[in-house]
Amino acid sequence: MNGIEDNLIKCQNCQLPLKIDSSLLDLSLAQTDMLVSSVNEYKQENYKIPQERLQRLNKVVYPNEVNLQKLGLGSYIFLQDDIKVEDPSTVASTNTSLSTSTAQREDDSGDEQTEEDRQHRYSGSTVRTLSTQVSALANVFNILSSKSNIDYPVCQDCCNILIRRIQSEYDDAIKERDLYSQFLSRIEKQKSLTSHDSSDDSHDEAEKLLNEKASLLQELKTLELEDEELDKQIADLEQQLKEKKRLEEEDTRRNNFYELEQVDLAREVQSLKNQYDFSLNYLDKLRKINIYNETFKISHDGLFGIINGLRIGGFQDVNVPWQEINAGIGQVVLLLATITTRLEIKLQGYKLIPMGSYSKVSKFQDDTQEWVAYEAFNNDNFKIGKLFRKETSFDKAMESLLIIIRQMAVWLSHARSQRHGSVYTAASENDELNDEEIELPYVMHKDKINGISVKLFGGRPGMDWTTAMKFLLTNTKWLFAFSSSQLG
């Protein structure tokens, strides 16, 4: 029984289970009405129920109006969730009818069962009766809670707390009532004392008030006039301020435009200065550049002499094609022709004919009084002269180049000693070297340079001939270096 009570009834304040007294479980209809009626009665003027709720309440069918067929066992509990305001008499009548029907079923079936069955049925009916009574008691608590500010049921401790709180509120209300009554009595005394004095002075005070009202009205009119005048002055000042701001904006715009023009002009001037400085520096750089040095670059790579990246020579391990060799010799002929033309050097008995890979060197024959052109290139075609190692036109052209370089060296030596003298005529091939001739790195005599012949006699380039070409390019570079100051 305690388990059922704990599951059904709890304190609404602290939520602890309550132990229901047996006297509350056996409430009669009169006792239930007394508990419900002990709370303030419902008054129509204090509460306003919506029309929809009243219509739904009128449609409710109560359990005593439902005709149900009786079954052998069982009890009925009607759950009415739609009813918001419950009638205590309905709840009590429902509980009473349920108790009566349960007792009647027990009486009807008592004669036909044995004592053991009767005890079993009695215990089961007792549980059902307690559950029904607890449900009815819960409905009573719900009705009481809906008609008061306290949620029922409550335990003894929570009840004591509520009593103390209500008592405190009651005491505060009493104190506030006494305070209001004291203030009310004081006000009544003051009214009684001032009522006699105010009747005599009311006329004079009224006149004073009227006079004061008239003066205040006059002062108000004066102030309104002053306000209108001030509004006009403010409007004029605002107009003047707008005009002044407009003029300031125009001046600022003109100043900004002028400053921008000045900035653009300064930038343009600085840009022109920078361009001028750059042009001067570039001009100085160009003046220092020797175009001939940039055009004819002579160097060496191991045993090979190189001019403008073209190798002159070859041997068994490195086979250089004749096209590259011919192009390199053509660059040498072009370099010597450029120097002689630029410095107006007159060669004695020789002419340089630069034609790229097919350049030539012409020699004047004293016996025939004719110019003979020697090919400064080799086409590597088969000639019968190769078998007999006969001197070829290419060999004579290479020998002529050595003689021309020697003549140019002699001319440069005399030109250095006589800067402002007459034009010097180069020495012939049979003239001996004098002390004033420029000293080149390698000695050249007839067809040999540093003791190595520059002739191939129709054969393939070898180690000796490659070395001779390297010496030839070295002498040419020295000759070119000596003439650079005069070429500029």
Distance, in Å, from the CA atom of 222 to the CA atom of 318, rounded to the nearest integer, reads: 123
Q: What is the mean pLDDT of the chain?
A: 76
* Residue 4, CB-side half-sphere exposure with 13 Å CA sphere: 12
Element (H, E) at 444: strand 444-445
* Greater pLDDT, 455 or 414: 455
Query: Is residue 449 classed as helix, strand or coil in its secondary structure?
Result: strand
Confidence of residue 106 (pLDDT cuts 50, 70, 90): very low
Judge whether residue 61 has pLDDT over 90: no
The gap from C-alpha 410 to its chain's centroid, in whole angstroms, comes to 77
Distance, in Å, from the CA atom of 479 to the CA atom of 484, rounded to the nearest integer, reads: 9
* Greater pLDDT, 310 or 482: 310
Judge whether residue 401 has pLDDT over 50: yes
Question: Which residues, 6 or more positions from 413, have their beta carbon under 8 angstroms from its beta carbon?
Answer: 436, 437, 438
Whole-number pLDDT of residue 336: 93
Whole-number pLDDT of residue 80: 40
Strand 452-453 to strand 350-353: parallel, antiparallel, or no bridges (unpaired)?
unpaired
Whole-number pLDDT of residue 51: 79
The gap from C-alpha 263 to its chain's centroid, in whole angstroms, comes to 35
Least confident of 116-130, 186-200, 393-407: 116-130
* Residue 268, CB-side half-sphere exposure with 13 Å CA sphere: 6
Judge whether residue 326 has pLDDT over 90: yes
- Which value, to the nearest 10 degrees, does the dihedral of the CA atoms of residues 207, 212, 214, 216 take? -170
Tokens representing 113 are: 């069962």
CB atoms within 10 A of CB 242: 10
In percent, the amount of the chain with pLDDT more than 90 equals: 33
Domain 295-487 CATH (choose: 1.10.3720.10, 1.10.418.40, 3.90.1150.10, 3.40.50.2000)? 1.10.418.40
The region that residue 437 occupies, defined by phi over 0 for left and psi between -120 and 50 for alpha, beta otherwise, is beta
Query: Concatenated DSSP letters for 325-372?
Result: HHHHHHHHHHHHHHHHHHTT-B-SSEEEE--GGG-EEEEEETTTTEEE
Which DSSP symbol is given to 462? Answer: -
Q: Scanning the structure block, which residue is given the tokens 């304040």?
A: 13
Asked if 353 and 305 count as a contact pair (C-beta separation under 8 A), the reply is no
Whole-number pLDDT of residue 403: 93
pTM of the model: 0.44
Closest alpha carbon to 482 in 440, 435, 433: 440
Which DSSP symbol is given to 426? Answer: P
CB atoms within 10 A of CB 98: 21
Query: Is residue 36 classed as helix, strand or coil in its secondary structure?
Result: helix
CB atoms within 10 A of CB 335: 23
Question: Which residues, 6 or more positions from 483, have their beta carbon under 8 angstroms from its beta carbon?
Answer: 339, 343, 408, 412
Whole-number pLDDT of residue 153: 81
Distance, in Å, from the CA atom of 281 to the CA atom of 414, rounded to the nearest integer, reads: 36
List the beta bridge partners of residue 112.
none
